[in-house]
Structure 1
Amino acid sequence: MVSLHVLVVSLALFVRILVGYQHHSGEDNYHGSKRAYGGDYEAQRHWMELTWHLPIGDWYWYDLQYWGLDYPPLTAYVSYVCGALSEWLVGPGTVALFKSRRYEGDPTHKAFMRATVWVLDALIYFPAVFFILKVLWQLKRQESSSTNEFLIAVLVALLQPSIILIDHGHFQYNTVALGLSLWSLFFIAHPSFFLSCIYGSVFFSLALNFKQMTLYYAPVIFAYLLGRCLAFNNGSKIPLWQQGLERFAALGGTVIITFVQLWWPFLLYGPRDNLSLVEDGSRNALRTMLQRGTHVLRRIFPLERGLFEGKVSNLWCALDTKPINIRDRIPADVQPLAALAATFLLMMPSCIALFLIGRASEQRKEAATRQHAADLKSLLWGCTSCAFAFFLASFQVHEKSILLALAPASLLVWEDVVFCDWMAVVATWTMWPLLVVDRLQLPYVCTLIIFATAITQLRTTPLLQTITMKPTDGDWVAWCWKILCQLSLAAMLVLHALEMVVPVPSHLPDLFPVLWSIGGCALCCLAWLRTVGSLLTEGRSALQKPKND
């Protein structure tokens, strides 16, 4: 059985290695635009360069015009370690300050850069996927179920095309943030003791400090934890208000301590000096710390960049086409507020449902394993829904942000295999314009075929066939959903065919990217509606169970 586990991990890594032989973002300064230079690959390499050579106080201030550091502190620390390894294992020239800019011709260095993503992926994301699916499988498994069914589901989750193409093709470290977020859900959903929520809050704080986009999950995680704080425990003699206050303080203290540990060097040390504020003895120490912290926050959340970038498949980009041109109709200073309001409206259903589920968690009299799986399933649906809300309506969204919705959705294969299968294709399809710029068309096709093969194998397992054939009161809803998915998949193929055979009009150079944006937005809206429907069902079940016990 161990050999099967090794085989699954080896296959997932092998596909990643093959994709790693393809182009990365900005390779040979190719961007499809003469004005562009570099890409995420050069940005990550440059961050290794600057963190390894410069004092920590300079990290967020150094040459901001050339890929200045704009990710949270944990990414900076990881870049520092990778920079040290690059110098020791490959050579000083790979991270030489300033002189190593646009260093990409050395195949050994490229292999090193790719290997850093493989290793972090295998150490953080792989185990999180494995343990979460293990818990969910325990909820669904039958006496005749075999471990092979579980391992095929793990393989399907690890072969998500869009995650592989972005991290191992385009080049990013998304699976570190996604893995830390999944670990936080694994611990937060544990019903037996509240201490697990403390562990989960540490993991989520680390995720936030690795990539700021994990804020997409924050509202639903906060709502669930608030519900757990206010959960009525029949066996406790402590008043509910006191229990809630103690739990909230414990969670808040954990988050604050984690953030302070990661952020304090950037508050104490500023650019072009190595003196801490304590050593300097400045009377304006607090104001200086605030200024430094504000600068780092502005680097991480650059509101001046605009409502969206590129041809992302969200509401703002889709509505910015003629004759609407919404960016011209909303003043620039009002756009962040408009995005905030729209995002708030879209995320409210998931937050309310997760609050109710969290509050009812300790009232249920189920086995710990089943309750853990039930709450974990609800959190995955909630994170998927909330991530879609942010992707569709929030400010400064990138094409790659859809991965935040995909990661939790990919683990719900035993709840709705049609949705998981469809979501994987949609997420990859929406990034086609970006992948064309990166010259990753061949890996795009190959990874989709590999994923389709794996998901087809999973559909033939006895457990999944039993689940999908099980009659329910909402069979007509499932039937309509299946038809919609099939029609949308056909539409995606048609648009690919049209792009190959229809010449682009000279007066509409962005015709197909715009069509991709509008079509992708419609599909993401459909996916958001699906997650809201599932969460309403989950929330209703959570409220009914305590009454039935």
Structure 2
Amino acid sequence: MSGLYPSLKDVTIVATAFKLLLLPAYKSTDFEVHRNWLALTHSLPVQKWYYENTSEWTLDYPPFFAAFEWCMSHVAKYFDPRMLEVQNLGYDSFNTVLFQRLSVIVTELVMVYALHRLVANSPEFTKRSAHAIALSILLSPGLLIIDHIHFQYNGFMYGILLLSLLVAKSSPLLSGILFAALLCFKHIYLYLAPAYFIYLLRAYCLGPNFSIWPPNPAIQFFNSLKLGVSIITIFATAFAPFVWWGQIPQLLSRLFPFARGLCHAYWAPNIWAMYSFMDRCLILIAPKLGLAINQAALSSGTRGLVGNTSFAVLPDITPRVTFVLTLLFMALPLVKLFMHPTYENFLGSVTLCAFSSFLFGWHVHEKAILLIIFPFSLLALNSRHHLSSFRPLAVAGHVSLFPLLFTPAEFPIKTVYTVLWLIVFLYTFDKLAPSGGVNEYRRWLMDRPATLFVIVAIPLVTYCSLIHGLVFGDRLGFMPLMFMSSYSAVGVVASWVWLMGVYLSN
């Protein structure tokens, strides 16, 4: 492997230097969100953390992340103690910006360690592929956009997720412990919990002699006991104090704000984005088709507002519908995982559970696309079929994040960086992916649609980011967002359909 790729250490150093140059870049409301969380966890007793509402950006992450903010606040006070004043809303002194940017870079070292483990523990014949995958994740445009410019701490938490996935084969108990801890940092990872539950049940708690018929549960008692005690201990550590104070209803109301509408303000590229786009198109032809139009819905969530989402022509979608669809499409890979609890099936199930929750979930955020991309990255070089499914996801997923950075200064950064990443890593993956008996004709059929999808992205991004504003000014501001989201949704859905077919057929 020496000489073929730069080392993970060298790339980490160069990437860190580049991220330091982004210190003065655009920062979203998430920057103030986390500054506020630093302040309230530092200044208030724990009992008041989930009640404090001086800022509209109230604490809505689980207790471990709140404790994480509390720990960071004790370092932040040496940079600028004024950032830790709860009443000091919108405070963004240079030292505050410096600390928060540096905190993302430093905590991302958890992910760097996980990627080191990925390469170091890979068999010799797969080290080149593992190294390419590790570099693709480390240099992910998604992390650059979301964490280092827009501002969040996904690198830190995805590092824990990757560690959990990587040790699942050799140490299911440790994998379960890491994942339980991760859930106490950010509850979005609940989307992956069904795959973990099935895998740990079959691979760790039930013996190799398990069978449905003739019935033989083959329960491994001590394994089940160790796993159960470990997970209960982690959740008790996180939530027991709030149970003692009678604050669980308040905490849950913060973690699960179900009053929000079906679609986020900027539609995540999923089934509901396509559904919403279809509804907007039907408005134009509904009179000719004799279809009724719900006039009240013309200014609802289908136009990008957060709140109750109503559709003008198509039937409204309820939370129950999204829940049923999510479980239905999760069930397909989970049944296979239960019957064949291999490590590769586990990674496939985790990825497909992430797909199902993203595509059919209620009020999905566009940033959750990384929940699919990173687990899928571990599978992308397993075969030519996997890579053919991964390619449209990589393009659509990263392009869908562009609207998060809407200021002119960041346009060249996000576009040039993402294009370079796609060229370098999709080309590298193409050279490393085993053909697995795929002939040239079948390869052509698999790869050409993905290539066409990539080509369409170029004029689309140009129009949405540049031309629309020049032509329409401030008018029709949601139109480019709708185009970008709907286009990206096609790629994500296509990737999901292809991967589901590959997974179920193997």
TM-score under structure 2 normalisation? 0.83
Give the structure 2 partner of residue 389 of structure 1: 356
* Structure 2 CA distance for partners of 1:248 and 1:471, relative to 1, 3 Å: closer
Distance 2:14 2:440 in 1: 36
Instruction: Give the AA of the match of 2:69.
Output: S
Distance 2:450 2:209 in 1: 42
1:155·1:454 contact (CA, 8 Å) conserved in 2?
no
Matching of residue 403 in structure 1 with residue 373 in structure 2: no
* Structure 2 CA distance for partners of 1:478 and 1:249, relative to 1, 3 Å: farther
Please point out which of 97, 120, 135 is paired with 2:86.
97
Please point out which of 106, 129, 134 is paired with 2:115.
129
Matching of residue 7 in structure 1 with residue 47 in structure 2: no
Higher mean alpha-carbon deviation, 157-166 vs 3-12, is at 3-12
1:160·1:424 contact (CA, 8 Å) conserved in 2?
no
Residue segments in structure 1 that go unaligned for 5+ positions in a row: 26-38, 142-146, 191-195, 270-288, 362-374, 541-549
Other structure's SS at 1:49 match: helix
Question: How far 1:221 sits from its partner (Å)?
Answer: 1.4
Matching of residue 530 in structure 1 with residue 498 in structure 2: yes
Matching of residue 430 in structure 1 with residue 430 in structure 2: no
Distance 2:9 2:190 in 1: 33
1:318·1:514 contact (CA, 8 Å) conserved in 2?
no
Give the structure 1 partner of residue 96 of structure 2: 109
* Structure 2 CA distance for partners of 1:505 and 1:346, relative to 1, 3 Å: farther
* Structure 2 CA distance for partners of 1:438 and 1:86, relative to 1, 3 Å: farther
Higher mean alpha-carbon deviation, 473-482 vs 401-410, is at 473-482
* Structure 2 CA distance for partners of 1:328 and 1:74, relative to 1, 3 Å: same
Distance 1:397 1:259 in 2: 25
Give the structure 2 partner of residue 30 of structure 1: none
Instruction: Give the AA of the match of 1:22.
Output: A
2:26·2:405 contact (CA, 8 Å) conserved in 1?
no
Give the structure 2 partner of residue 283 of structure 1: none
Write out aligned runs for 1:337-348 (5 A). 337-348=320-331
Question: How far 1:85 sits from its partner (Å)?
Answer: 0.8
Distance 2:445 2:104 in 1: 40
Question: How far 1:166 sits from its partner (Å)?
Answer: 0.2
* Structure 2 CA distance for partners of 1:184 and 1:506, relative to 1, 3 Å: closer
Q: Relative CO higher for 1 or 2, CA cutoff 8 Å, sep ≥ 6?
A: 1
Other structure's SS at 1:328 match: coil
- CA deviation map 1:158-206 (0-9, x unaligned): 111012210111000112221212211122222xxxxx22211110011
Matching of residue 62 in structure 1 with residue 64 in structure 2: no
* Structure 2 CA distance for partners of 1:453 and 1:527, relative to 1, 3 Å: closer
1:8·1:151 contact (CA, 8 Å) conserved in 2?
no
Give the structure 2 partner of residue 297 of structure 1: 252
Please point out which of 440, 444, 448 is paired with 1:479.
444
2:111·2:159 contact (CA, 8 Å) conserved in 1?
yes
1:162·1:424 contact (CA, 8 Å) conserved in 2?
no
Write out aligned runs for 1:18-29 (5 A). 18-25=21-28
Give the structure 2 partner of residue 186 of structure 1: 166
Give the structure 2 partner of residue 277 of structure 1: none
Matching of residue 119 in structure 1 with residue 111 in structure 2: no
Distance 2:8 2:491 in 1: 35
Question: How far 1:84 sits from its partner (Å)?
Answer: 1.3
Residue segments in structure 2 that go unaligned for 5+ positions in a row: 284-296, 303-308
Instruction: Give the AA of the match of 1:78.
Output: F
Give the structure 2 partner of residue 349 of structure 1: 332
Instruction: Give the AA of the match of 2:379.
Output: L
Matching of residue 159 in structure 1 with residue 161 in structure 2: no
Distance 2:398 2:351 in 1: 16
Distance 2:337 2:440 in 1: 25
Task: State the superposition RMSD in angstroms.
Answer: 2.9
Write out aligned runs for 1:3-402 (5 A). 4-25=7-28, 39-63=29-53, 66-87=56-77, 89-98=78-87, 100-104=88-92, 106-122=93-109, 124-135=110-121, 137-138=122-123, 140-141=125-126, 150-190=130-170, 196-228=171-203, 229-233=205-209, 240-244=216-220, 247-269=223-245, 289=246, 292-310=247-265, 311-320=267-276, 321-322=279-280, 323=282, 327-328=309-310, 335-358=318-341, 361=342, 375=343, 377-402=344-369
TM-score under structure 1 normalisation? 0.77
Distance 2:209 2:120 in 1: 28
Instruction: Give the AA of the match of 1:535.
Output: Y
Give the structure 1 partner of residue 293 of structure 2: none
Distance 1:452 1:241 in 2: 47
- CA deviation map 1:192-228 (0-9, x unaligned): xxxx222111100111111111112111111222222
Question: Identity of paired residues, percent?
Answer: 25
Give the structure 1 partner of residue 289 of structure 2: none
Question: How far 1:16 sits from its partner (Å)?
Answer: 2.9
Question: How far 1:457 sits from its partner (Å)?
Answer: 7.0
* Structure 2 CA distance for partners of 1:245 and 1:394, relative to 1, 3 Å: farther
